[in-house]
Chain A
Amino acid sequence: MADVLIADDSEFMRNLLREILEEDHNIVGEVENGVEAVEVFKEEQPDLVMMDIVMPIRDGIEATDEIKNTAPEANVIMCTSVGQEEKMKEAVKAGADGYITKPFQKPSVMEAIQDVVPS
Protein backbone atom coordinates (compact mmCIF):
# COMPACT_ATOMS: atom_id res chain seq x y z
CA MET A 1 0.00 0.00 0.00
CA ALA A 2 1.59 3.26 -1.18
CA ASP A 3 1.08 6.72 0.29
CA VAL A 4 -0.37 8.82 -2.52
CA LEU A 5 -0.80 12.57 -2.94
CA ILE A 6 -3.40 13.68 -5.50
CA ALA A 7 -2.85 17.06 -7.20
CA ASP A 8 -5.66 18.13 -9.49
CA ASP A 9 -7.65 21.37 -9.68
CA SER A 10 -10.83 19.48 -10.49
CA GLU A 11 -12.78 18.34 -7.45
CA PHE A 12 -14.55 15.85 -9.68
CA MET A 13 -11.26 14.31 -10.77
CA ARG A 14 -9.84 14.23 -7.24
CA ASN A 15 -12.93 12.32 -6.13
CA LEU A 16 -12.66 9.93 -9.04
CA LEU A 17 -8.98 9.23 -8.38
CA ARG A 18 -9.62 8.79 -4.65
CA GLU A 19 -12.32 6.23 -5.39
CA ILE A 20 -10.02 4.33 -7.71
CA LEU A 21 -7.03 4.39 -5.36
CA GLU A 22 -8.28 4.23 -1.79
CA GLU A 23 -8.99 0.51 -1.81
CA ASP A 24 -5.33 -0.33 -2.44
CA HIS A 25 -3.49 2.80 -1.36
CA ASN A 26 -3.35 5.40 1.37
CA ILE A 27 -4.36 8.87 0.23
CA VAL A 28 -2.24 11.31 2.24
CA GLY A 29 -3.51 14.51 0.67
CA GLU A 30 -5.53 16.16 -2.05
CA VAL A 31 -4.43 19.52 -3.42
CA GLU A 32 -5.60 21.74 -6.24
CA ASN A 33 -2.50 23.49 -7.58
CA GLY A 34 1.23 23.05 -8.04
CA VAL A 35 2.23 25.22 -5.09
CA GLU A 36 0.16 23.16 -2.65
CA ALA A 37 1.46 19.96 -4.28
CA VAL A 38 5.07 20.90 -3.45
CA GLU A 39 4.15 21.97 0.11
CA VAL A 40 2.18 18.83 0.93
CA PHE A 41 4.81 16.66 -0.71
CA LYS A 42 7.44 18.13 1.61
CA GLU A 43 5.24 17.58 4.66
CA GLU A 44 3.97 14.09 3.88
CA GLN A 45 6.80 12.62 1.77
CA PRO A 46 4.37 10.32 -0.10
CA ASP A 47 5.52 7.35 -2.16
CA LEU A 48 3.72 8.70 -5.17
CA VAL A 49 2.22 11.93 -6.52
CA MET A 50 -0.60 11.76 -9.09
CA MET A 51 -0.03 15.13 -10.77
CA ASP A 52 -2.32 17.01 -13.14
CA ILE A 53 -0.60 19.37 -15.60
CA VAL A 54 -3.04 22.23 -16.22
CA MET A 55 -3.62 23.76 -12.78
CA PRO A 56 -3.91 27.34 -11.60
CA ILE A 57 -1.12 29.25 -9.79
CA ARG A 58 1.54 26.71 -10.71
CA ASP A 59 1.26 23.92 -13.27
CA GLY A 60 2.08 20.28 -12.68
CA ILE A 61 5.28 20.22 -14.73
CA GLU A 62 6.85 23.03 -12.70
CA ALA A 63 5.73 21.38 -9.48
CA THR A 64 7.20 18.05 -10.61
CA ASP A 65 10.46 19.76 -11.47
CA GLU A 66 10.72 21.21 -7.97
CA ILE A 67 9.74 17.98 -6.25
CA LYS A 68 12.30 16.03 -8.25
CA ASN A 69 14.99 18.62 -7.55
CA THR A 70 14.44 18.37 -3.82
CA ALA A 71 13.72 14.64 -3.72
CA PRO A 72 15.07 12.80 -6.79
CA GLU A 73 13.74 9.51 -5.44
CA ALA A 74 10.15 10.83 -5.47
CA ASN A 75 7.69 9.12 -7.79
CA VAL A 76 5.44 11.30 -9.92
CA ILE A 77 2.86 10.17 -12.46
CA MET A 78 1.41 12.88 -14.65
CA CYS A 79 -2.33 12.39 -14.78
CA THR A 80 -3.62 14.83 -17.33
CA SER A 81 -5.95 15.52 -20.20
CA VAL A 82 -3.04 16.90 -22.24
CA GLY A 83 -1.99 14.47 -24.97
CA GLN A 84 0.66 16.58 -26.69
CA GLU A 85 3.98 15.01 -27.55
CA GLU A 86 5.97 18.13 -26.71
CA LYS A 87 4.26 18.31 -23.32
CA MET A 88 5.09 14.67 -22.65
CA LYS A 89 8.74 15.46 -23.40
CA GLU A 90 8.59 18.40 -20.99
CA ALA A 91 7.20 16.05 -18.35
CA VAL A 92 10.07 13.61 -18.93
CA LYS A 93 12.53 16.48 -18.64
CA ALA A 94 10.97 17.55 -15.34
CA GLY A 95 11.49 14.02 -14.08
CA ALA A 96 8.02 12.48 -14.31
CA ASP A 97 8.01 8.70 -14.01
CA GLY A 98 4.76 7.99 -15.83
CA TYR A 99 2.04 9.62 -17.88
CA ILE A 100 -1.66 8.80 -17.94
CA THR A 101 -4.03 10.69 -20.21
CA LYS A 102 -7.57 11.41 -19.12
CA PRO A 103 -10.07 9.99 -19.50
CA PHE A 104 -8.74 6.80 -17.95
CA GLN A 105 -10.08 3.51 -16.66
CA LYS A 106 -9.09 2.02 -13.31
CA PRO A 107 -6.89 -0.76 -14.84
CA SER A 108 -4.70 1.75 -16.69
CA VAL A 109 -4.21 3.79 -13.51
CA MET A 110 -3.34 0.71 -11.47
CA GLU A 111 -0.96 -0.52 -14.16
CA ALA A 112 0.85 2.84 -14.30
CA ILE A 113 1.20 2.84 -10.50
CA GLN A 114 2.45 -0.74 -10.51
CA ASP A 115 5.14 0.24 -13.04
CA VAL A 116 6.33 3.13 -10.90
CA VAL A 117 5.75 1.84 -7.35
CA PRO A 118 5.81 -1.97 -7.51
CA SER A 119 3.90 -3.55 -4.63
Chain B
Amino acid sequence: MKIDVQSLGTFNQLAHEGAEQATRSMAQMTGIDAEVDVTKISLVDRADIGEELGDSEFVGVQFEFEGALSGDTVLVFDRDSTDEIVNALMPGAAEDPSMAQSSVEEIGNIMMSGFIDGWADYLGAGIEHTPPEYIERSGADVLPEAPDTGETDQVFVFRSEIEWLDQSVNFFIYMLPEYEPMTEMMSEHAAAGDDAIPIEKLEAFNRMTRKGTEKAAENVEMMAGIETEAEVSQISFAPIEDVPKQVGNDTYVGTVVEFTGAPSGYLLVLFDETSAINVAEALMPMETDGDGLTDQHKAAIEELGNIMTSGFVDGWANVLQQTVEHTPPRLVHDMGRAIIDPLAAQLGQHQQHAFIIDSKMKTDEVAFESTIHALPNEEELREALDELLVERAEETEADAEQIF
Protein backbone atom coordinates (compact mmCIF):
# COMPACT_ATOMS: atom_id res chain seq x y z
CA MET B 1 0.00 0.00 0.00
CA LYS B 2 1.21 3.47 -0.83
CA ILE B 3 0.52 7.01 0.28
CA ASP B 4 1.41 10.17 -1.52
CA VAL B 5 2.28 13.63 -0.35
CA GLN B 6 -0.75 15.22 -1.96
CA SER B 7 -3.26 12.98 -0.20
CA LEU B 8 -1.37 13.33 3.09
CA GLY B 9 -1.79 17.07 2.60
CA THR B 10 -5.50 16.63 1.94
CA PHE B 11 -6.00 14.48 5.06
CA ASN B 12 -4.06 16.94 7.13
CA GLN B 13 -6.22 19.76 5.77
CA LEU B 14 -9.36 17.78 6.61
CA ALA B 15 -8.24 17.28 10.19
CA HIS B 16 -7.27 20.94 10.42
CA GLU B 17 -10.60 22.15 9.07
CA GLY B 18 -12.40 19.75 11.42
CA ALA B 19 -10.50 21.19 14.35
CA GLU B 20 -11.34 24.72 13.15
CA GLN B 21 -15.02 23.81 12.94
CA ALA B 22 -14.85 22.38 16.47
CA THR B 23 -13.13 25.56 17.69
CA ARG B 24 -15.75 27.80 16.06
CA SER B 25 -18.50 25.77 17.78
CA MET B 26 -16.82 26.25 21.12
CA ALA B 27 -16.34 29.98 20.54
CA GLN B 28 -20.00 30.31 19.61
CA MET B 29 -21.11 28.52 22.78
CA THR B 30 -18.70 30.00 25.28
CA GLY B 31 -17.37 33.21 23.79
CA ILE B 32 -13.86 31.86 24.35
CA ASP B 33 -11.47 33.14 21.72
CA ALA B 34 -9.38 30.22 20.48
CA GLU B 35 -7.63 29.11 17.33
CA VAL B 36 -6.17 25.92 15.92
CA ASP B 37 -2.46 26.20 16.43
CA VAL B 38 -1.22 23.16 14.59
CA THR B 39 -2.53 19.98 13.02
CA LYS B 40 -0.31 17.09 12.05
CA ILE B 41 -0.48 13.48 10.99
CA SER B 42 2.03 11.26 12.73
CA LEU B 43 3.16 7.74 12.21
CA VAL B 44 4.06 6.73 15.72
CA ASP B 45 4.78 3.68 17.82
CA ARG B 46 1.58 2.59 19.63
CA ALA B 47 3.31 2.89 22.99
CA ASP B 48 4.31 6.52 22.36
CA ILE B 49 0.90 7.98 21.57
CA GLY B 50 0.10 11.02 23.71
CA GLU B 51 3.54 11.15 25.31
CA GLU B 52 3.57 14.91 24.72
CA LEU B 53 0.69 15.28 27.20
CA GLY B 54 3.16 14.69 30.04
CA ASP B 55 1.67 14.23 33.51
CA SER B 56 -0.94 16.98 33.26
CA GLU B 57 -4.53 16.32 34.29
CA PHE B 58 -7.11 16.36 31.51
CA VAL B 59 -10.86 16.34 31.22
CA GLY B 60 -12.68 15.56 28.02
CA VAL B 61 -14.83 13.34 25.93
CA GLN B 62 -14.18 10.30 23.84
CA PHE B 63 -16.14 8.86 20.91
CA GLU B 64 -15.94 5.75 18.84
CA PHE B 65 -16.73 6.25 15.20
CA GLU B 66 -17.39 3.84 12.37
CA GLY B 67 -18.44 3.87 8.77
CA ALA B 68 -16.27 5.18 5.95
CA LEU B 69 -13.59 5.44 8.59
CA SER B 70 -13.52 3.82 12.01
CA GLY B 71 -11.60 4.33 15.22
CA ASP B 72 -11.62 6.62 18.24
CA THR B 73 -11.45 10.34 18.67
CA VAL B 74 -10.87 12.37 21.80
CA LEU B 75 -11.19 16.01 22.78
CA VAL B 76 -9.37 16.95 25.96
CA PHE B 77 -9.09 20.16 27.94
CA ASP B 78 -6.44 20.98 30.45
CA ARG B 79 -7.98 20.22 33.90
CA ASP B 80 -7.28 23.77 35.11
CA SER B 81 -9.18 25.35 32.24
CA THR B 82 -12.28 23.17 32.51
CA ASP B 83 -14.04 25.23 35.18
CA GLU B 84 -13.66 28.35 33.10
CA ILE B 85 -15.04 26.66 29.99
CA VAL B 86 -17.95 25.15 31.91
CA ASN B 87 -18.79 28.46 33.58
CA ALA B 88 -18.58 30.23 30.22
CA LEU B 89 -21.12 27.74 28.92
CA MET B 90 -23.40 27.98 31.93
CA PRO B 91 -22.50 30.38 34.75
CA GLY B 92 -22.06 28.56 38.05
CA ALA B 93 -22.14 25.08 36.47
CA ALA B 94 -18.59 24.33 37.62
CA GLU B 95 -19.83 24.28 41.26
CA ASP B 96 -22.08 21.31 40.53
CA PRO B 97 -19.99 18.24 39.51
CA SER B 98 -22.86 16.56 37.70
CA MET B 99 -23.71 19.72 35.77
CA ALA B 100 -20.02 20.30 35.01
CA GLN B 101 -19.68 16.82 33.58
CA SER B 102 -22.82 17.20 31.51
CA SER B 103 -21.56 20.54 30.18
CA VAL B 104 -18.25 19.01 29.12
CA GLU B 105 -20.07 16.14 27.43
CA GLU B 106 -22.31 18.51 25.53
CA ILE B 107 -19.65 20.92 24.38
CA GLY B 108 -17.51 17.92 23.43
CA ASN B 109 -20.37 16.39 21.51
CA ILE B 110 -21.00 19.53 19.49
CA MET B 111 -17.33 20.23 18.85
CA MET B 112 -16.51 16.71 17.77
CA SER B 113 -19.56 16.29 15.57
CA GLY B 114 -18.19 19.16 13.52
CA PHE B 115 -14.81 17.48 13.43
CA ILE B 116 -16.15 14.15 12.17
CA ASP B 117 -18.68 15.61 9.72
CA GLY B 118 -15.95 17.12 7.58
CA TRP B 119 -14.40 13.68 7.06
CA ALA B 120 -17.73 12.16 6.14
CA ASP B 121 -18.42 14.95 3.63
CA TYR B 122 -15.01 14.53 2.01
CA LEU B 123 -15.34 10.78 1.78
CA GLY B 124 -18.91 11.08 0.54
CA ALA B 125 -20.05 8.46 3.00
CA GLY B 126 -21.52 8.36 6.48
CA ILE B 127 -19.50 8.17 9.67
CA GLU B 128 -21.51 7.29 12.78
CA HIS B 129 -20.26 8.04 16.24
CA THR B 130 -21.23 6.87 19.71
CA PRO B 131 -22.55 9.23 22.40
CA PRO B 132 -19.75 11.07 24.21
CA GLU B 133 -18.01 9.26 27.05
CA TYR B 134 -16.76 11.59 29.79
CA ILE B 135 -13.12 11.07 30.73
CA GLU B 136 -10.95 12.54 33.47
CA ARG B 137 -7.38 11.20 33.54
CA SER B 138 -3.77 12.27 33.51
CA GLY B 139 -1.29 12.34 30.63
CA ALA B 140 -1.54 9.77 27.87
CA ASP B 141 -4.05 7.74 29.92
CA VAL B 142 -6.70 10.19 28.74
CA LEU B 143 -6.38 8.70 25.25
CA PRO B 144 -8.07 5.47 24.21
CA GLU B 145 -6.03 2.36 23.67
CA ALA B 146 -4.33 2.52 20.31
CA PRO B 147 -6.16 0.63 17.59
CA ASP B 148 -5.07 -2.84 16.67
CA THR B 149 -2.42 -2.61 14.00
CA GLY B 150 -2.09 -6.23 12.98
CA GLU B 151 1.54 -6.97 12.21
CA THR B 152 2.98 -3.49 12.68
CA ASP B 153 3.53 -1.67 15.95
CA GLN B 154 2.93 1.75 14.41
CA VAL B 155 -0.27 3.74 13.97
CA PHE B 156 -1.36 6.92 12.23
CA VAL B 157 -2.53 9.62 14.63
CA PHE B 158 -4.12 12.95 13.72
CA ARG B 159 -3.49 15.57 16.35
CA SER B 160 -4.68 19.16 16.55
CA GLU B 161 -3.60 21.59 19.20
CA ILE B 162 -6.02 24.43 19.90
CA GLU B 163 -4.71 27.49 21.62
CA TRP B 164 -6.88 29.53 23.94
CA LEU B 165 -5.76 33.03 23.01
CA ASP B 166 -4.14 35.07 25.79
CA GLN B 167 -4.16 32.02 28.07
CA SER B 168 -1.52 29.41 28.69
CA VAL B 169 -3.93 26.48 28.33
CA ASN B 170 -4.45 24.36 25.27
CA PHE B 171 -6.97 21.83 24.06
CA PHE B 172 -6.17 18.78 22.02
CA ILE B 173 -8.08 16.71 19.50
CA TYR B 174 -6.74 13.26 18.73
CA MET B 175 -8.11 10.96 16.09
CA LEU B 176 -6.86 7.39 16.14
CA PRO B 177 -8.24 5.63 13.08
CA GLU B 178 -8.05 1.88 12.77
CA TYR B 179 -4.89 1.07 10.88
CA GLU B 180 -6.09 -1.12 8.00
CA PRO B 181 -9.07 1.04 6.88
CA MET B 182 -6.94 4.18 7.23
CA THR B 183 -4.05 2.86 5.17
CA GLU B 184 -6.46 1.46 2.60
CA MET B 185 -8.12 4.83 2.32
CA MET B 186 -4.74 6.58 2.00
CA SER B 187 -3.75 4.08 -0.64
CA GLU B 188 -6.97 4.60 -2.58
CA HIS B 189 -6.38 8.35 -2.58
CA ALA B 190 -2.70 8.10 -3.54
CA ALA B 191 -1.94 9.34 -7.02
CA ALA B 192 -0.41 6.76 -9.29
CA GLY B 193 3.16 7.76 -10.05
CA ASP B 194 6.50 8.55 -8.55
CA ASP B 195 5.19 10.57 -5.63
CA ALA B 196 3.72 7.64 -3.75
CA ILE B 197 5.58 6.12 -0.79
CA PRO B 198 5.00 2.52 0.23
CA ILE B 199 3.70 2.64 3.80
CA GLU B 200 5.97 -0.20 4.91
CA LYS B 201 8.99 1.91 3.88
CA LEU B 202 7.76 4.83 5.94
CA GLU B 203 7.36 2.44 8.88
CA ALA B 204 10.84 1.02 8.31
CA PHE B 205 12.24 4.56 8.25
CA ASN B 206 10.44 5.27 11.50
CA ARG B 207 12.08 2.21 13.07
CA MET B 208 15.47 3.46 11.84
CA THR B 209 14.71 6.80 13.49
CA ARG B 210 13.94 5.02 16.75
CA LYS B 211 17.32 3.27 16.57
CA GLY B 212 18.98 6.60 15.78
CA THR B 213 17.40 8.10 18.88
CA GLU B 214 18.57 5.16 20.96
CA LYS B 215 22.09 5.66 19.61
CA ALA B 216 21.98 9.38 20.43
CA ALA B 217 20.74 8.54 23.95
CA GLU B 218 23.60 6.02 24.33
CA ASN B 219 26.04 8.75 23.31
CA VAL B 220 24.69 11.11 25.97
CA GLU B 221 25.00 8.36 28.56
CA MET B 222 28.55 7.51 27.54
CA MET B 223 29.71 11.13 27.50
CA ALA B 224 27.86 12.51 30.49
CA GLY B 225 27.30 9.40 32.58
CA ILE B 226 23.61 10.27 32.72
CA GLU B 227 21.43 7.24 32.14
CA THR B 228 19.28 8.35 29.24
CA GLU B 229 16.35 6.69 27.54
CA ALA B 230 14.89 7.25 24.10
CA GLU B 231 11.28 8.14 24.76
CA VAL B 232 9.52 8.91 21.52
CA SER B 233 10.26 8.88 17.89
CA GLN B 234 7.78 9.66 15.20
CA ILE B 235 7.49 10.97 11.71
CA SER B 236 4.86 13.64 11.19
CA PHE B 237 3.52 15.51 8.23
CA ALA B 238 2.32 19.11 8.34
CA PRO B 239 2.12 22.24 6.21
CA ILE B 240 5.49 23.98 6.14
CA GLU B 241 4.08 27.10 7.85
CA ASP B 242 3.04 24.97 10.84
CA VAL B 243 6.50 23.51 11.35
CA PRO B 244 7.82 26.26 13.70
CA LYS B 245 4.74 25.86 15.89
CA GLN B 246 5.73 22.26 16.65
CA VAL B 247 8.62 23.45 18.78
CA GLY B 248 6.78 26.11 20.76
CA ASN B 249 7.92 29.31 22.44
CA ASP B 250 10.08 27.93 25.23
CA THR B 251 13.75 28.86 25.20
CA TYR B 252 16.19 26.22 24.08
CA VAL B 253 19.93 25.77 23.81
CA GLY B 254 21.25 23.41 21.21
CA THR B 255 22.77 22.88 17.82
CA VAL B 256 21.61 23.13 14.23
CA VAL B 257 23.31 21.36 11.35
CA GLU B 258 22.52 21.21 7.69
CA PHE B 259 22.90 17.72 6.27
CA THR B 260 23.35 16.78 2.65
CA GLY B 261 23.06 13.43 0.97
CA ALA B 262 20.12 11.12 0.98
CA PRO B 263 18.19 13.11 1.98
CA SER B 264 19.33 16.68 2.68
CA GLY B 265 17.78 18.96 5.27
CA TYR B 266 18.29 20.32 8.76
CA LEU B 267 18.70 18.69 12.13
CA LEU B 268 18.26 20.34 15.50
CA VAL B 269 19.30 18.99 18.88
CA LEU B 270 17.62 21.05 21.59
CA PHE B 271 17.80 21.20 25.37
CA ASP B 272 15.81 23.40 27.71
CA GLU B 273 18.17 25.68 29.65
CA THR B 274 18.17 23.61 32.86
CA SER B 275 18.85 20.41 30.95
CA ALA B 276 21.60 22.15 28.99
CA ILE B 277 23.40 23.23 32.18
CA ASN B 278 22.94 19.84 33.82
CA VAL B 279 24.24 17.85 30.90
CA ALA B 280 27.10 20.28 30.18
CA GLU B 281 28.26 20.11 33.83
CA ALA B 282 28.16 16.33 33.66
CA LEU B 283 30.37 16.51 30.57
CA MET B 284 33.00 18.78 32.04
CA PRO B 285 35.66 17.55 34.40
CA MET B 286 36.23 21.03 35.88
CA GLU B 287 34.18 23.71 37.63
CA THR B 288 32.77 26.37 35.32
CA ASP B 289 33.47 30.10 35.63
CA GLY B 290 30.35 32.13 36.35
CA ASP B 291 26.67 31.40 36.88
CA GLY B 292 24.00 30.23 34.46
CA LEU B 293 24.84 29.10 31.00
CA THR B 294 28.53 29.89 30.46
CA ASP B 295 30.66 29.72 27.31
CA GLN B 296 32.12 26.49 28.65
CA HIS B 297 28.64 25.01 28.91
CA LYS B 298 27.92 26.14 25.36
CA ALA B 299 31.12 24.57 24.00
CA ALA B 300 30.20 21.29 25.67
CA ILE B 301 26.65 21.45 24.28
CA GLU B 302 28.01 22.17 20.82
CA GLU B 303 30.10 19.01 20.85
CA LEU B 304 27.35 16.92 22.41
CA GLY B 305 24.95 18.15 19.71
CA ASN B 306 27.50 17.17 17.09
CA ILE B 307 27.85 13.67 18.48
CA MET B 308 24.10 13.22 18.94
CA THR B 309 23.53 14.37 15.37
CA SER B 310 25.92 11.77 14.03
CA GLY B 311 24.37 9.08 16.20
CA PHE B 312 21.03 10.02 14.73
CA VAL B 313 21.81 10.21 11.00
CA ASP B 314 24.56 7.57 10.68
CA GLY B 315 21.92 4.83 10.75
CA TRP B 316 20.15 6.33 7.74
CA ALA B 317 23.44 6.42 5.82
CA ASN B 318 24.39 2.86 6.75
CA VAL B 319 21.00 1.41 5.84
CA LEU B 320 20.92 3.32 2.56
CA GLN B 321 24.61 2.48 1.94
CA GLN B 322 25.32 6.12 1.22
CA THR B 323 26.88 9.01 3.08
CA VAL B 324 24.97 11.75 4.84
CA GLU B 325 27.32 14.71 5.29
CA HIS B 326 26.60 17.41 7.82
CA THR B 327 28.03 20.82 8.52
CA PRO B 328 29.79 21.58 11.80
CA PRO B 329 27.16 22.33 14.47
CA ARG B 330 25.96 25.90 14.92
CA LEU B 331 25.09 26.74 18.51
CA VAL B 332 21.62 28.21 19.03
CA HIS B 333 20.08 29.78 22.11
CA ASP B 334 16.63 31.21 21.48
CA MET B 335 12.90 30.55 21.50
CA GLY B 336 12.06 27.27 19.76
CA ARG B 337 10.04 28.91 17.02
CA ALA B 338 12.75 31.47 16.35
CA ILE B 339 15.31 28.69 15.94
CA ILE B 340 13.28 26.61 13.51
CA ASP B 341 11.55 29.40 11.58
CA PRO B 342 14.44 30.24 9.19
CA LEU B 343 15.04 26.55 8.51
CA ALA B 344 11.38 25.98 7.62
CA ALA B 345 11.54 29.10 5.44
CA GLN B 346 14.50 27.63 3.54
CA LEU B 347 12.66 24.37 2.92
CA GLY B 348 9.48 26.30 2.11
CA GLN B 349 11.11 27.69 -1.01
CA HIS B 350 10.71 24.28 -2.62
CA GLN B 351 7.87 22.52 -0.81
CA GLN B 352 4.48 23.24 0.74
CA HIS B 353 4.46 20.43 3.28
CA ALA B 354 7.16 18.91 5.40
CA PHE B 355 7.94 15.60 7.00
CA ILE B 356 9.16 16.26 10.51
CA ILE B 357 11.09 13.59 12.35
CA ASP B 358 10.85 14.10 16.10
CA SER B 359 12.60 12.26 18.86
CA LYS B 360 12.77 12.81 22.55
CA MET B 361 14.97 11.43 25.28
CA LYS B 362 14.98 11.97 29.00
CA THR B 363 16.24 10.65 32.29
CA ASP B 364 14.90 10.46 35.81
CA GLU B 365 18.39 10.88 37.28
CA VAL B 366 18.58 14.68 36.91
CA ALA B 367 16.37 17.28 35.21
CA PHE B 368 17.33 16.40 31.67
CA GLU B 369 15.34 16.25 28.48
CA SER B 370 16.43 16.63 24.91
CA THR B 371 14.59 16.67 21.62
CA ILE B 372 15.86 16.05 18.12
CA HIS B 373 13.99 17.43 15.14
CA ALA B 374 14.92 16.59 11.57
CA LEU B 375 13.49 18.48 8.62
CA PRO B 376 14.40 16.61 5.47
CA ASN B 377 13.79 17.88 1.97
CA GLU B 378 10.48 16.23 1.14
CA GLU B 379 11.31 15.19 -2.41
CA GLU B 380 14.69 13.77 -1.42
CA LEU B 381 13.16 11.88 1.49
CA ARG B 382 10.72 10.31 -0.95
CA GLU B 383 13.63 9.34 -3.21
CA ALA B 384 15.55 7.93 -0.25
CA LEU B 385 12.53 5.90 0.83
CA ASP B 386 12.23 4.64 -2.71
CA GLU B 387 15.81 3.35 -2.45
CA LEU B 388 15.30 1.92 1.03
CA LEU B 389 15.43 -1.85 1.25
CA VAL B 390 13.13 -2.73 4.14
CA GLU B 391 15.16 -5.85 4.88
CA ARG B 392 18.23 -3.67 5.53
CA ALA B 393 16.42 -1.43 8.01
CA GLU B 394 18.19 -3.04 10.99
CA GLU B 395 21.67 -2.48 9.50
CA THR B 396 22.15 0.89 11.16
CA GLU B 397 25.57 0.26 12.74
CA ALA B 398 28.94 0.19 10.96
CA ASP B 399 31.93 -1.67 12.37
CA ALA B 400 35.12 0.38 12.07
CA GLU B 401 37.30 -2.53 13.19
CA GLN B 402 36.10 -4.61 10.28
CA ILE B 403 37.00 -1.86 7.82
CA PHE B 404 40.37 -0.87 9.32
Contacts and interface: CB of A to CB of B under 8 A. Distances in A.
B403 A92 contact: yes
A90 B323 contact: yes
A96 B322 CA distance: 20
Interface in A27-71: 54-56
Contacts of B321: 85-86
Contact of B317 (A13, A56, A84): A84
A25 interface: no
Contacts of A98: 404
Contacts of A81: 306-307, 309-311
Contact of A84 (B306, B307, B323): B323
Contacts of B314: 82-84
Contacts of B285: 19
B236 interface: no
Which applies to chain B's interface (DSSP): helix, strand, loop or mixed? helix
B304 to A, nearest CB: 8
B299 interface: yes
B148 to A, nearest CB: 37
Contacts of B183: none
B300 interface: yes
Interface residues of B, number: 31
B47 interface: no
Interface string B308-332: 0111001001100111111110000
Interface residues of A, number: 30
A100 B14 CA distance: 50
Contact of B311 (A13, A83, A85, A105): A83
A11 B307 CA distance: 14
Contacts of A82: 310, 314
Contact of A56 (B219, B306, B322, B328): B328
Interface string B278-314: 0000011100000000000001101100110111001
Contacts of A55: 328
B327 A54 contact: yes
Contact of A99 (B283, B299, B300, B404): B404
B374 to A, nearest CB: 16
A84 B310 CA distance: 9
B398 A88 contact: yes
B1 interface: no
Nearest to B396: A83
Contacts of A103: 219, 222-223, 307
A50 B311 CA distance: 20
Residue among A84, A86, A96 facing the most chain B CB atoms (10 A cut-off): A84
Contacts of A88: 398, 400, 403-404
Contact of B306 (A10, A11, A97): A10
A83 B314 CA distance: 6
B397 interface: yes
Q: Which of A12, A97, A98 has the most CB of B within 10 A?
A: A12
A10 B328 CA distance: 9
Given A10-B306, A88-B404, A90-B323, A83 B398 contact: yes
B318 A84 contact: yes
Contacts of B324: 84
Contacts of B322: 86
Contacts of B303: 10, 12-13
B299 A10 contact: yes
B222 A92 contact: no
Nearest to A55: B328
Given A54-B327, A82-B310, 5 more contacts: A54-B326, A83-B310, A84-B314, A87-B323, A99-B400
Interface of B: 219, 222-223, 283-285, 299-300, 302-303, 306-307, 309-311, 314, 317-318, 321-328, 397-398, 400, 403-404
Interface of A: 9-13, 19, 54-56, 80-90, 92, 96-103, 105
Report the 5 A-B pairs with minimum CB-CB distance, sorted nearest first. Answer: A85-B398, A81-B310, A84-B317, A103-B223, A83-B314
8 contacts: A9-B328, A12-B303, A56-B327, A81-B311, A83-B398, A85-B317, A85-B403, A88-B404
